[in-house]
Structure 1
């Protein structure tokens, strides 16, 4: 029994090791150990003993001998405590009753108990049982502390926990980093005043005195309700905090630098836990962990090694509202998934429930996994899960619904664009995606496109041009002319605009194509016609010479128009690339921050994407409207409408896009109804209001005044922005003209020209008054009367 013995009596077998002759004088011990389910294994070879003691499963207790002169119990104890694998195993040393030196030496070497060889077998077994129980309690405490460390390390904010005496119990590294401190200078036992003194050194304190700050902290902790606060520091930082009192009179709080939140690290620093307490202290640590979980804005959940729910916060329940009432501690993760399937919580699983369940459990079983999940109501979550050392796992759920909506908007803009567009891999030159306009224009099907490379649509004479393949690799945005082949073999002349982007993790380029075949043919025919005229000039009269001179004047005008067109194409290309770059940059930041993205961060990036998309829509609408005017496809339909309502709608829409500005409307003197084209007037005021915001970035007020003057209504739109130079004012309504004061501000020079034409089609007029640095006022005069005749409209258009 002493070499391999052990009979399970209590239902649980405990393993302990003994070295050498540790039990020669303790008669009856073997039977007592066996009755209590304790298996003893005695080893005679010292090296083998230490090797086996470090192998898993580890023994729950070790007995050593310090009775005889040849015993090496104290030396073996020190050796065990120096080994990281065995240092936590309790050790009991047998000593002689009178050997006080060995007793003291054993305790100094790390033994939990020193027992006399004269102790009774019953007492000796009782001591062994007690130390095994205490070892089990400490093991459970260590596992709880590992869960707490993992949770704190996963948090994106600085977290600190103080006891009722105002002393720091624990904090994560982010707490020190938020205030610009080295984490090593923050440690448990410090008071809030000690930490404030450290922050003084880097200017990371409010402008108030230390005593006032400490008084504020004490007053904050007296309330039972959680507190949100924002502090401005001497360093210029703005810190947002969340403070909550704990049950023992202390407090837990989070600290977040919202001045430069986009610089926050994705990974959270590890927290240092001070937990050398008994089982009661472990329960207190668990309560503090629950409080910390509730501070986090993301959904958090902890599972044990058997994938049973251990801990979760309210945000997790809210995200899974369909089955939140069924969640309980100890519930298996798979059972929770099945409950959600029964209640229709996972739309993607409908009709393939078992297959979906197997895929989801496979993700959950991975050491580390990330994926997206769709919920009812077209809501989307990003799920990140990671296994921890005790075999359990921690999971984070982030609501990415707004981001998905923005991605869908951008995809719709790509798919519905009337200009042929595609995305291709810059390394392999293979098409990754094409829009419907490209499919229709080139005559290739979508599946056929996705099997082709960019070189497959290049005309043969383009193959020997290396810049065809490399033109956009060195330059993130470029423009060039080329020849392409359609699906039926027809060669076309095109101008392509390309910009680099990241597409599903690949280095790719977005290319837009303009077919200029007909324009090239017209240009060639024009050149041939010019050559013919020059030949005729040499053989004809002075009258023909005059005609030739007139023709050259027209050709010069055509060149100017072509130059204006080239400038516009270049400007429009730049203006499209700018919002695309903003969208791409925001998306990349979201990808990099996906592990620790806050709602504020997501809101900021979503606003950037919405603003850029709005800018692209404005550009497209202005370009299309100008084209329709040029080709006579815009006709003004005069119908009764409320110009005050149009102005109100346009100003509200602009305020929703640019929340930094407000429109001050004075429209009470306008008549209730005029005759005009509602959509065209909407475009007029949308352009004017957009300009008022864009060219007055630091002046939030835009004044809109309306009144009736005889048979006309007059509307004045005044901003307090950068103004216009006096010599630029006569050119403001020319197409593509940009004032010198607008340098560095996005624009195409189309909007005001479009506004002027629409107002004149209504039989009205528009004037501008301004001076550099003193704002700008546009004044419109529009007839109130009934629908104009076609003759009047045509005259106005001219």
Structure 2
């Protein structure tokens, strides 16, 4: 390939990158006049190319920032280099219809024989900002709760001067609430990032698939969005469950039901959530009628099966077994996954605990804590049998659950 053909080839390549990029790209000259904008940028701002060519870049910036922006770009023109724009500041852009939206902007530059040009790479961060606002709102609510509890504590201290033991418990309670708030903010910020990024990238890509032949691609990204939203819901549900447990708001309702039917229905529903090639094997032995809280038991089964799938490789079996005999109900979930060390098994049921070999697998460290509390509320016992790289089996036993009569019971306390 000669030099001219190579240049032509490179030109086609750069043009393809420019036109197909999933972020806005705008090129301005030394006078800050727009010389080019890619299709993504035009859709983002609601213009056609002819409407922006040779217009000042300030047409895409809210009016209240115009004078300040002119000063900033003059400074940049004297010392041009590749860098983020507006570090430490909230940046906003304005569409043709007058609506504003938050953006992130990175700047680069190049020169040719005629002029100096600046390239702006623009990303709409509306979804991320909304998520950050929601997290901040949750944080504020938690802070308000801590403040309210602290006020209640001050009043209680005056009434409990003669009871040091009770006062000590209340102080410990406030400390735990503060820790729970801090851990929530840390874990939520980390765990929300991946699904939110997936939702954002899939949303951008769906916009590009416009033909009937690309329907399967749209469906793939829609499924990614649904899965990410479900993950966010599961994380929030875990925090809500812990909150209810900590506040003593869980009511246990014992009813008679068919445990084999319940667990079989759960395993069928969860088959679609398993990794590629994984399969659920369920078997039941003994009597079918038990007296437990069906809702709490369902949560336990779902969480254990979900963990077994998450910490196991593809194409592996997950075995679920229930046994009802002589007034004893036994549930076991077994996998052939990464296993748990003996040292980590001592802390499995602690709130927020993650095993040493689970650091790269998404999770809040709340699932087993919630399971242990639900098991305790139904007078049960949970046991873990595991070796590293040899799989894990969780066994839950309810001593006389099969012989109980239906009743409603509040949390122990």
TM-score class normalised by the smaller sequence: 0.5 to 0.7
Q: 1:664 maps to which residue?
A: 281
Residue 517 of structure 1 pairs with residue 134 of structure 2: no
- The structure carrying a bigger helix percent of its residues is 2
Q: 2:253 maps to which residue?
A: 637
Q: Deviations over 1:484-521 (max 9, x none)?
A: xxxxxxxxxxxxxxxx9655xx9964421133335335
CA distance 1:474–1:697, change in 2 (3 Å) = farther
| 1:680-699 correspondence to structure 2 within 5 Å | 680-698=296-314
Q: 1:746 maps to which residue?
A: 362
Q: CA deviation at 1:789?
A: 5.9
Residue 773 of structure 1 pairs with residue 389 of structure 2: yes
Query: Contact conserved, 1:564 with 1:736, CA < 8 A, in 2?
Result: no
Query: Contact conserved, 1:670 with 1:713, CA < 8 A, in 2?
Result: no
Q: 1:86 maps to which residue?
A: none
Q: Deviations over 1:716-744 (max 9, x none)?
A: 10011111111111211112211112101
CA distance 1:555–1:764, change in 2 (3 Å) = closer
Residue 606 of structure 1 pairs with residue 222 of structure 2: yes
Paired residue secondary structure (1:598): helix
CA RMSD of the aligned region, Å? 4.0
Instruction: Find 2:294's aligned residue among 678, 692, 696.
Output: 678
Q: Deviations over 1:609-628 (max 9, x none)?
A: 22212212222332222222
CA distance 1:728–1:508, change in 2 (3 Å) = closer
Structure 1 or 2, whichever has the larger Rg, is: 1
Q: 2:52 maps to which residue?
A: none
Residue 785 of structure 1 pairs with residue 403 of structure 2: yes
Paired residue secondary structure (2:245): helix
Q: CA deviation at 1:777?
A: 0.5
Q: Deviations over 1:208-233 (max 9, x none)?
A: xxxxxxxxxxxxxxxxxxxxxxxxxx
Q: CA deviation at 1:670?
A: 3.8
Instruction: Find 1:703's aligned residue among 319, 326, 332.
Output: 319
Query: Contact conserved, 2:150 with 2:174, CA < 8 A, in 1?
Result: no
Q: 2:183 maps to which residue?
A: 567
Paired residue secondary structure (1:576): helix
Query: Contact conserved, 1:644 with 1:670, CA < 8 A, in 2?
Result: no
Q: CA deviation at 1:712?
A: 0.9
CA distance in 2, matches of 1:643, 1:761: 18
Q: 1:322 maps to which residue?
A: none
Q: CA deviation at 1:694?
A: 1.0
Residue 593 of structure 1 pairs with residue 209 of structure 2: yes
Query: Contact conserved, 1:568 with 1:736, CA < 8 A, in 2?
Result: no
| 1:66-215 correspondence to structure 2 within 5 Å | none
Instruction: Find 2:335's aligned residue among 719, 727, 736.
Output: 719
Of 635-644 and 553-562, more deviation after overlay is shown by 553-562
Query: Contact conserved, 2:267 with 2:280, CA < 8 A, in 1?
Result: yes
TM-score by length of 2: 0.61
CA distance in 2, matches of 1:697, 1:777: 15
Q: Deviations over 1:375-433 (max 9, x none)?
A: xxxxxxxxxxxxxxxxxxxxxxxxxxxxxxxxxxxxxxxxxxxxxxxxxxxx76xxxxx
Higher RCO by CA contacts (8 Å cutoff, separation 6 or greater)? 2
CA distance 1:658–1:266, change in 2 (3 Å) = farther
Q: CA deviation at 1:788?
A: 6.0
CA distance 1:621–1:787, change in 2 (3 Å) = farther
Q: CA deviation at 1:557?
A: 6.3
Query: Contact conserved, 2:255 with 2:406, CA < 8 A, in 1?
Result: no
CA distance in 1, matches of 2:216, 2:386: 39
CA distance 1:552–1:706, change in 2 (3 Å) = closer
CA distance in 2, matches of 1:775, 1:600: 36
Paired residue secondary structure (1:664): strand
Q: 1:618 maps to which residue?
A: 234
CA distance in 2, matches of 1:662, 1:736: 29
Query: Contact conserved, 1:583 with 1:608, CA < 8 A, in 2?
Result: yes
Q: Deviations over 1:19-75 (max 9, x none)?
A: xxxxxxxxxxxxxxxxxxxxxxxxxxxxxxxxxxxxxxxxxxxxxxxxxxxxxxxxx
Q: CA deviation at 1:596?
A: 7.8
Q: 1:395 maps to which residue?
A: none
CA distance 1:670–1:586, change in 2 (3 Å) = farther
CA distance 1:630–1:597, change in 2 (3 Å) = farther
CA distance 1:671–1:550, change in 2 (3 Å) = closer
Q: CA deviation at 1:696?
A: 1.1
CA distance 1:728–1:584, change in 2 (3 Å) = same
Query: Contact conserved, 2:338 with 2:391, CA < 8 A, in 1?
Result: yes
CA distance in 2, matches of 1:797, 1:697: 38
Query: Contact conserved, 2:146 with 2:177, CA < 8 A, in 1?
Result: no
Paired residue secondary structure (2:270): helix
Query: Contact conserved, 2:254 with 2:405, CA < 8 A, in 1?
Result: yes
Unaligned segments of structure 1, at least 5 residues? 1-183, 185-262, 268-426, 429-465, 476-499, 533-542
Q: How many residues are paired up?
A: 300
TM-score by length of 1: 0.33
Q: 2:114 maps to which residue?
A: none
CA distance in 2, matches of 1:527, 1:761: 31
Query: Contact conserved, 1:724 with 1:771, CA < 8 A, in 2?
Result: yes
CA distance in 1, matches of 2:351, 2:370: 8
Q: 1:758 maps to which residue?
A: 374
CA distance 1:760–1:529, change in 2 (3 Å) = closer
Unaligned segments of structure 2, at least 5 residues? 1-8, 10-16, 22-60, 63-86, 92-101, 106-122
CA distance 1:569–1:650, change in 2 (3 Å) = farther
Paired residue secondary structure (1:638): strand
Q: 1:580 maps to which residue?
A: 196
CA distance 1:553–1:671, change in 2 (3 Å) = closer
